[in-house]
Amino acid sequence: MPERLRDLMPNRPQPLLAPPWVALLSAWLGLLMVVASLVLPFLPGSRHPRLELEHYYEYSMADRYLPIPVYLSPLSLFVGIAVLWQMRKEPRPLNPALSSQRTQALVGIVLTVIGTAILYAWVATHRTS
């Protein structure tokens, strides 16, 4: 009985690596997420939230802007995690190019988590009546 599942399929190909620009995109998306979450507190919020929901007033600028960072956060996390996931079976230690891509992906993930924490902390503490 083989000890590992890999022994059953010796000719199985290695996973393809993401292009280098994907790791760079992860870092830039993380930075964009932090900037987008820092912009939200400075946008004018709603004065009459109930009337906005009943369509008597137009939505405020903050309400129209909020979906951008909310949807940007999972996209940015996905790109960073995809880079790390695709290099999971590479022999260790990684060569310098893959090590740099790994660092870029980790920076993107950390910046996204920071930006998401700022965003959700603002939304949780900013009350409108």
pLDDT above 50: residue 1: no
In a domain, 74, yes or no: yes
Task: Give me the count of residues in the chain.
Answer: 129
In a domain, 21, yes or no: yes
In a domain, 7, yes or no: no
In a domain, 117, yes or no: yes
Backbone angles phi, psi at 99, to 5 degrees: -65, -40
Specify the 3-state DSSP secondary structure of 55. coil
pTM: 0.81
The rounded distance, in Å, linking the Cα atoms of 95 and 99 is: 6
The rounded distance, in Å, linking the Cα atoms of 26 and 67 is: 19
In a domain, 120, yes or no: yes
Task: Pick the closest to residue 23 from 85, 70, 72, 74 (CA basis).
Answer: 85
Cβ neighbors of 75 (< 8 A, separation 6 or more) are 29
**97-124, pLDDT tens digit by residue?**
999 999 999 999 999 999 999 999 998 8
> For the chain, what is the domain count?
1
In a domain, 1, yes or no: no
In a domain, 56, yes or no: yes
Domain with 49 in it: 17-125
The rounded distance, in Å, linking the Cα atoms of 74 and 121 is: 17
In a domain, 39, yes or no: yes
The rounded percent of the chain whose pLDDT value lies above 70 is: 88
